[in-house]
């Protein structure tokens, strides 16, 4: 298990595939909600680079497992 800033990080390889999909989709939903309300970003997904790093780790693990999924479009900020 990785140790980051004194906290144990999740070992992504040990999480079930449905769990990884749920986590990845949760990041996507939070990002979409932030982008729809740029004046009041509740989750601050774009402001915290750890969210992107974590989503990329999850996406990498899903790819290793051969799971098809829609990648998060980090470069396209939508506004509501």
The sign one gets for the Cα dihedral 30, 36, 42, 45 is: positive
pLDDT at residue 3 above 60? no
What confidence tier does 1 reach under pLDDT thresholds 50, 70, 90?
very low
Q: What are the pLDDT digits (tens) for 29-66?
A: 999 999 999 889 999 999 999 999 999 999 999 999 99
d(CA 70, CA 50) in angstroms, rounded, equals 20
Q: What is the DSSP letter of 40?
A: G
Q: What is the pTM of this model?
A: 0.81
What would the 3-class secondary structure string for 4-28 be?
ECCEECCCHHHCCHHHHHHHHHHHH
């Amino acid at each position: 298990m990785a140790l980051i800033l004194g906290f144990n990080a999740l070992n992504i390889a040990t999480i079930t595939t449905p769990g990884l999909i749920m986590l990845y989709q949760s990041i996507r939903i939070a990002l979409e909600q932030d982008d729809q309300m740029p004046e009041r970003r509740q989750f601050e997904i774009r402001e915290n680079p750890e969210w992107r790093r974590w989503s990329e780790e999850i996406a990498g693990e899903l790819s290793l497992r051969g799971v098809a999924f829609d990648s998060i479009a980090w470069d396209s900020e939508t506004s509501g």
